[in-house]
Amino acid sequence: MANQVTASEPSKDRKNSQLELKEKQLHEKSPDKWGVSDSKKLFLIQKWGDGFFDINEKGSVCVKPLKNAPKGPCIVLQDILDEVKAAGISLPLVIRFHDILRARVVEINKTFHNQISEANYRGEYFGVYPVKVNQMREVVEEIVDAGAPFRYGLEAGSKPELLAVLSMPITTGALTVLNGYKDAEYLKLAMLGIRMGRPMVVVVEKFSELPLLLKIADEMKVEPIIGMRAKLQSRGSGKWAASTGDRAKFGLTITEIVQAIDLLKSHQKLHWLKLFHFHIGSQIPDIKTFKEAITEGARIFCKMTKMGVPLEYFDVGGGVGINYEGGHNNTELSVNYGLKDYAMDVVYIVKQICDLEDVNHPHLVSESGRAITAYHSCIITDVFGSVAYLENQSFSTEKKTGEHIIVTNMRDLFHDLQAHNIRQTYNDALSVKEESISAFKLGVLDLEERAKVETMFLQTIKKIIEIEKDTEEKSVDTEALTAAYSQQYLCNFSVFQSTPDTWGIGQILPIMPINRLCEKPTIKASMADITCDSDGKIDNFISFSGIKKTTWFHSLNNSPSNPNNKDTQGQALQSENPYYVGIFLTGAYQDIMGDNHNLFGRLNEVHVYCDDDDPNDFYVEEFIRGHSAQQVLSTLQYSPEAMAKNVKSIIDAQVRRGKIRPREGVELCDFYEQSLAGYTYLKHD
């Protein structure tokens, strides 16, 4: 059985201080001594990447789908982008690595089989993939194909998911587990699956489903496999801890389980009850949570067996997490275990309790989805500019005769600022800024004077940050100050469509530039998307010492004629050489949960497979175009044909009035129709 860590560890504060020191030492490294190894440390890629992601010697992010093969393929993301561009596919883009999907399916099955063999466990493993985690047809088909040698099945939690699952050619003997609330149509579809020759496990989530199931099975003359989901008292952990306990949304209490057994006995159908199931949530961070739940579940299983229930399957549900933050800690964003630890606990705990209770070892079922799919896809977006609050404050603040005392006071604060008076100066600067706004509202300050105060305030903030940078004892919270006035890198994507969990539940995803990683990144910035929404941003990032409001990027400066690459307002200009950022571990839930906020649709996709015979170690199996504007509009009851007709009528009227020349009118109509058919995201030709 997997051992718990008992060795003493440094306190959290001490550990964070040590990590912050290492992070500071790394950041202070001079640019001329910066190398790929430093970028690997800075972005923690070898920790969250789990061997699938790395940085090559040229400073580009690469993917190793067959991570355990020493001389396996190494796919450079930039090479994929080059091929995508040549095919006329625009960014932002989802890249799917199907070989990673296959590798994860193989890994979880082999891990369980190895643990079963080593423990002399007398049951088998029948894993199922919960399609709710990523219902994309290509994803499910790949998992089914990779899982065929292991009799790896599928799990559905709704009628539409069941309809999809029934159409999949899963291998003989693989289970189809049906969760979620069920009505008569759902149950009839399950019986249809049985008539198709599939082992369909109908998991009873609430007691009222059981009489309906018995009625429909009798009407359709089929014998289903029944499962029962228990509400465990063992507490879950992480964001989904409420999946267990008396207030859990799904499952039967112990009293209801006993009543269900009695009902089946009264109908002489107890032999239909074959599976015991529980679920303790998603992204479980602590292995101890699994240990406690498996122990309680195994005891219930054994007691049910001793009541005469012919149970054959023990379904531990899902919950296996992945390491989003790279720390392998017991946090909501990380896990303190691996697949081997998890499988070992399932096998050994169930074996030990069944042996103690003198009960036959059941077949083991798990419903891991995030652990299978998260690694296989990433999003690549291009940065088209930035908002730089503290850079290039070029507005003239020279003193003028007769200027207001408020302007003079802010200038004096800036000039008198030194290390010994930082706190006082900062507080005074805040007061003067507030005073200037009040004075402006009353008509006391003119627009130019207010602009001078704002410019000098930002110059004061920048000076404070520079002075405090090398100071051990901070006079103000410099980190918070830096984050509040840091740059925003403007990225061509929608948070709500592509990374909805970062907005909805505070999910953290690894984010980093995919190129120039031989260079030292010098810009601390957050990310803003292209939606017209203040929530359209990502401002939580992984780092050495925990979650930070900014992460490190390279300068967008690439123009010799403009060394600062800024306009007069400090707005970064579009670079001659595109700057690409990758958002990783997006394969679980993000694909299906996105919405069309601001009518930004699904992204373009490229499906990549390994190919050792190819010079770049890959081939693109398929390009899938993202939503066009007219496709998104159609879902909202617009008619693109009618829209184009209406616009043409308006333009024709302008032509008749002599406001638009006929040839120009035709060109404008064509442009409108081309835009309707085009990608919903920005184009940078």
Asked whether the beta carbons of 562 and 522 are under 8 A apart, the reply is no
Which among 461, 473, 399, 465 has a CA at the least distance from the CA of 430?
A: 461
Q: In this predicted structure, what is the pLDDT of residue 395?
A: 85
| Calpha distance 523→485 (Å, rounded) | 12
**For residue 234, what are its two tokens?**
């063992």
Cβ-contact 241, 281 below 8 angstroms: yes
Model confidence over 363-379: pLDDT tens digits?
999 999 999 999 999 99
Q: What confidence score (pLDDT) does residue 17 get?
A: 65
Query: Is pLDDT of 381 > 50?
Result: yes
Place of tokens 């249809």: 192
Could you say which DSSP state residue 500 is in?
A: H
Dihedral (Cα; 169, 175, 177, 182), 10-degree rounding: 70
> Which tens digit of pLDDT belongs to each residue from 638-673?
999 999 999 999 999 999 999 999 999 999 999 999
If DSSP codes are grouped into helix, strand and coil, which group holds residue 566? strand
Partners of residue 538 on adjacent β-strands: 527
Nearest to 245 by CA among 273, 281, 204: 281
Q: Does the pLDDT at position 1 exceed 70?
A: no
* Residues near 21 by beta carbon (within 8 Å), at least 6 away in sequence: none
At residue 587, does pLDDT exceed 80? yes
Taking the CB of residue 418, how many other CB atoms lie within 10 A of it?
Answer: 10
Q: How far does CA 481 lie from the centroid of its chain?
A: 28
With b meaning 16 or more CB within 10 Å and e meaning fewer, what string describes 79-94?
bbbebbeeeebbbbbb
Kindly tell me the sign of the dihedral angle through the C-alpha atoms of 290, 293, 296, 301. negative
Give the CA-trace dihedral at 130, 132, 136, 138, to 10 degrees. 0
For residue 394, pLDDT beyond 90: no
Entry field: residues in the chain = 685
pLDDT category, 3, cuts 50, 70, 90? Answer: very low
Residue 266 token pair: 């009264």
**Helix then strand then coil, % of the chain, to nearest 5:** 45, 15, 40
Q: Residue 330: pLDDT above 80?
A: no
pLDDT, mean over the chain:
90
Eight-class DSSP state of 541: B
Considering only CA atoms, give the Rg of the chain.
30
Please compute, for residue 195, the number of CA atoms within 13 A of its CA located in the half-sphere on the CB side.
11
pLDDT tens string 159-207: 999 999 999 999 999 999 999 999 999 999 999 999 999 999 999 999 9
CB 542 within 8 Å of CB 326: yes
Cut 0.85: pTM above it: yes
**DSSP characters over 419-478:** GGGHHHHHHHHHHHHHHHHHHHHTTSS-HHHHHHHHHHHHHHHHHHHHHHTT-SS-SS-H
* β pairing state of 153-156 and 618-624: unpaired
CA angle 20, 23, 28 (to 5 degrees): 125
pLDDT tens across 243-261, in order? 555 556 678 999 999 999 9
Name beta bridge partners: 537: 528
At 663, which helix (H) or strand (E)?
A: helix 662-677
**Nearest by Cα to 339 from 298, 290, 296, 304:** 290
pLDDT at 332: 80
Per DSSP, the three-state class of 628 is: strand
Distance CA 351, CA 360 (A): 9
pLDDT digits (tens, 9 = 90+) for 457-491: 999 999 998 888 777 777 888 888 888 888 999 99
Above pLDDT 90, what percent of the chain? 78
pLDDT number for residue 238: 57
* Residues whose CB is less than 8 angstroms from the CB of residue 429 and which lie 6 or more positions away in sequence, other chains included: 410, 413, 414, 457, 460, 461
pLDDT tens digit sequence for 278-302: 999 889 999 999 999 999 999 999 9
Q: How far apart are CA 516 and CA 111, in angstroms?
A: 37
Distance, in Å, from the CA atom of 601 to the CA atom of 35, rounded to the nearest integer, reads 38
Give, for 528, the enclosing helix (H) or strand (E): strand 523-528
Buried b (16+ CB within 10 A) or exposed e, 163-191: ebbbebebeeebbbbbbbebeeebbbbbb
Q: Provide the angle, in degrees to the nearest 10, between the axes of the packed helices 422-441 and 447-468.
A: 160
Q: Which of 8-17, 290-299, 541-550 has the lowest mean pLDDT?
A: 8-17
The DSSP code sequence of 575-599 is PSS-EEEEE----SSHHHH---GGG
Which pLDDT belongs to residue 564? 44
Other CB atoms closer than 10 Å to residue 336's CB: what's the count? Answer: 18
* pLDDT of 546 over the 90 cut: no
Q: Residues 23-73: pLDDT tens digits?
A: 778 888 888 999 999 999 999 999 999 999 999 999 999 999 998 887 889
**Residue 100, pLDDT score:** 97
- Among 616, 546, 177, 589, which Cα is nearest to 371's? 589
The CB density around residue 424, as the number of other CB atoms within 10 Å, is: 13
Predicted local confidence at residue 23, as pLDDT: 78
